[in-house]
């Protein structure tokens, strides 16, 4: 009795089914269009087994093997690409002038350590003795225009005392999936507490996608025969070389910073196209990543603290202050109106609070404590010197209580 044909069929069906399951996994959590496309493409080898043409079955099974290789590479590179830092050993010195970066004046020095983090002093990451707090977030954590000694993370360390180290991992533009990658990356560096100031870039992504923006396209399946590993490696190397050269050239040079980056962006509430929209719930992908962050915190027995994102969106704010807005959302030809901006920000901050409270994490409602205006922000959401001081003043007693086990959470 010849069992080889039967074994071959079993192997073919097993392989085809595995390809389909991988496709379901790769497209899970994406937008409906990409889920459908991804699943159809990954189902082709399985469908081919129902057809009478042997050559087509063979071709599509080999195509399925190619998909497995591409998906595997995509999973590997996506995880690596999600972890981002500022350039290591960076030094940027400038003097703020003009009236764009309201509430920030005079000389500023921004530096990073060998890991690309903003720190106070030298951190021995192999030493697990100090009580070590990592701050994870985007530009409102990074505070790229504030001197090393003016950031809320530095002020928090000063307020906590000599036995505590506060490490600022913030990078502009990052979203929840990047914050998860950062959390996973810092685990070997002995974190005791992790602060998450997150949300603004996630809600802007949600708004942009609602109105057809192409800034974000998740799950771009790579089915090209281009040798992507070589292509991406060359591209990443070139980008790293450019960054290194730029910061080496700038080291030690004091430049003038007038906020030119924002001049054409500000006044976004006056765009011709004005939309009204407040979603019923946050982006499902954002919610799913939050759950993964929570699972990691629990698995690693970390003290994770979630902070609501302060912002300038409120009724009754002055026209001059509103004129500095640019993240409504940024980089688009449309804007949400002010009531919608308030609603979206409240939705994401409220969802973060519910997530923290439901999972037993500490939640600090910074948004309720930092008031809109130039005394706190130089634009919609970014802290100036006074805003950083207010954040630190709100955090220091709360973080001390959390560390000592006496914190009364905002959930109660």
Q: Looking at the structure, do residues 385 and 309 belong to the same domain, yes or no?
A: yes
> Quick one: how far is CA 32 from the chain centroid?
22
CATH number of the domain residue 316 falls in: 3.40.50.1110
Q: Please say if the pLDDT value at position 343 is more than 90.
A: yes
The pLDDT, as a whole number, for residue 252 is: 60
Q: Which residues have a Cβ under 8 Å from the Cβ of 364 and sit 6 or more positions away?
A: 305, 306, 307, 308, 394, 395, 398, 410
Q: Give, rounded to a whole angstrom, the gap between the first and last alpha carbons of the chain.
A: 72
**pLDDT tens across 362-373, in order?**
999 999 999 999
Pairing verdict, β 273-275 and 303-307 = unpaired
Q: Say yes or no: 46 and 191 in one domain.
A: no
| 74/106 same-domain check | no
CA distances from 279 to 31, 109, 283 (A): 16, 40, 9
Same domain, 60 and 145: no
The pLDDT, as a whole number, for residue 20 is: 75
Same domain, 187 and 59: no
> Tell me, what's the pLDDT at 292?
97
CA distance 90 to 92: 7
* CB proximity list for 341: less than 8 A, separation 6 or greater: 311, 313, 328
In 3D space, the residue among 346, 321, 384 whose CA is nearest the CA of residue 104 turns out to be: 384
Q: What's the pLDDT band for 222 if we cut at 50, 70, 90? A: very low
Q: Residue 299: count other Cβ atoms within 10 Å of its Cβ.
A: 9
Residue 412 domain flag: no
The pLDDT score that the predictor gives to residue 60 is 74
Q: Strands of 254-257's sheet, edge to edge?
A: 106-111, 91-96, 254-257
For 50-68, give the DSSP string: TSS-HHHHHHHHHHHHHHH
End position of a domain, from candidates 24, 50, 82: 82
- Report the percent of the chain where pLDDT is more than 90: 66
Least confident of 130-139, 156-165, 376-385: 156-165
Neighbours of 250 (CB within 10 A): 15
241 in a domain, yes or no? no
Q: Which of 53, 82, 111 is the last residue of a domain?
A: 82
CA torsion 321→326→328→332, rounded to 10°?
A: 150
- When pLDDT is cut at 50, 70 and 90, the band that residue 5 belongs to is low
Which of 345, 346, 363 lies closest to 294, judged by CA? Answer: 363
pTM value?
Answer: 0.77
More confident residue, 77 or 281: 281
* Count: domains in the chain: 2
In a domain, 274, yes or no: yes
**Do residue 58 and residue 166 come from a single domain?**
no
Whether 411 is in a domain gets the answer: no
34-48, 114-128, 147-161: the lowest-pLDDT one: 34-48
Task: Give the least confident one: 29-33, 339-343, 347-351.
Answer: 29-33
Do 317 and 181 share a structural domain?
yes
Residue 236 has pLDDT above 60, yes or no: no
φ, ψ of residue 408 in degrees (nearest 5): -100, 110
Tokens of 126: 């192999």
- Mutual angle of helices 228-250 and 54-82, in 10-degree steps: 20
State yes or no: pLDDT of 86 exceeds 90. Answer: yes
Q: Which domain holds residue 77?
A: 4-82
The pLDDT tens digits for 277-318 are: 999 999 999 999 999 999 999 999 999 999 999 999 999 999
Structure tokens belonging to residue 263? 């001049």
Q: How confident is the model at residue 169 (pLDDT cuts 50, 70, 90)?
A: very high
Q: Is there a single domain that holds both residue 150 and residue 298?
A: yes
HSE of 174, CA atoms in CB hemisphere, 13 A: 28
Do 26 and 130 lie in a common domain?
A: no
Q: For residues 354 and 43, which has the higher predicted lDDT (pLDDT)?
A: 354
**DSSP-derived secondary structure letter, 104:** -
Whether 95 is covered by a domain: the verdict is no
| Domain-ending residue, one of 82, 115, 145 | 82
Instruction: Say whether both 12 and 122 belong to one domain.
Output: no
Candidates 356, 362, 360; CA nearest to 409 is 362
Q: Is 58 a residue whose pLDDT tops 90?
A: no
- Please state, as a whole number, how many other Cβ atoms lie within 10 Å of the Cβ of residue 103: 20
Residue 358 contacts residue 308 (beta carbons within 8 Å): no
List the one residue out of 240, 201, 212 whose CA is nearest residue 86. Answer: 240
Same structural domain, 65 and 143 = no
């Amino acid at each position: 009795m010849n069992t080889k044909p039967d074994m071959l069929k079993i192997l073919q069906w097993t392989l085809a089914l595995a390809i389909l399951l991988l496709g379901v996994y790769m497209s899970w959590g994406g937008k409906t269009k990409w889920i459908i496309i991804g699943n159809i493409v990954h189902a082709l080898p399985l469908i081919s087994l129902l057809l009478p043409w042997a050559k087509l079955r063979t071709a599509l099974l080999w195509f399925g093997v190619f998909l497995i290789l591409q998906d595997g590479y995509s999973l590997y590179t996506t995880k690596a690409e999600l972890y981002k830092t500022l350039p290591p050993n960076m030094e940027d010195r400038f003097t703020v002038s003009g009236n764009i970066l309201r509430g920030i004046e005079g000389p500023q020095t921004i530096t990073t350590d060998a890991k690309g983090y903003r720190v106070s002093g030298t951190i021995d990451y192999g030493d697990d003795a100090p009580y070590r707090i990592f701050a994870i977030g985007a530009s409102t954590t990074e505070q790229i225009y504030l001197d090393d000694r003016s950031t809320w993370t530095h002020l928090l360390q000063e307020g906590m005392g000599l036995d505590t180290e506060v490490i600022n991992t913030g990078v502009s533009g990052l979203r929840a999936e990047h914050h998860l990658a950062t959390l996973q990356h810092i685990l070997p560096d002995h974190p005791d507490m992790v602060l998450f100031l997150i949300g603004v870039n996630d809600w802007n992504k949600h708004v942009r996608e609602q109105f057809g923006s192409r800034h974000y396209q998740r799950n771009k399946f790579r089915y090209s025969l281009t040798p992507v590993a070589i292509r991406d490696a060359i591209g990443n190397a070139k980008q790293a070389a450019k960054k290194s050269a730029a910061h080496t050239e700038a080291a030690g040079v004091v430049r003038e910073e007038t906020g030119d980056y924002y001049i054409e962006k500000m006044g976004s509430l006056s765009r011709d196209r004005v939309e009204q929209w407040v979603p019923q719930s946050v982006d499902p992908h954002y919610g799913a990543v939050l759950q993964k962050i929570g699972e990691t915190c629990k698995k690693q027995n970390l003290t994770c603290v979630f902070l609501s994102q302060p912002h300038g969106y409120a009724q009754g704010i002055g026209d001059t202050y509103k004129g500095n807005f640019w993240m409504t959302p940024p980089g688009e030809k449309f804007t949400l109106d002010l009531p919608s901006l308030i609603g979206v920000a409240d939705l994401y901050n409220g969802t973060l609070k519910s997530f923290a409270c439901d999972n037993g994490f500490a939640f600090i409602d910074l948004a309720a404590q930092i008031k809109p205006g130039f005394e706190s922000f130089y634009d919609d959401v970014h802290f100036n010197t006074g805003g950083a001081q207010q954040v630190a003043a709100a955090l220091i007693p709360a973080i001390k209580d959390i560390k000592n086990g006496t914190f009364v959470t905002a959930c109660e």
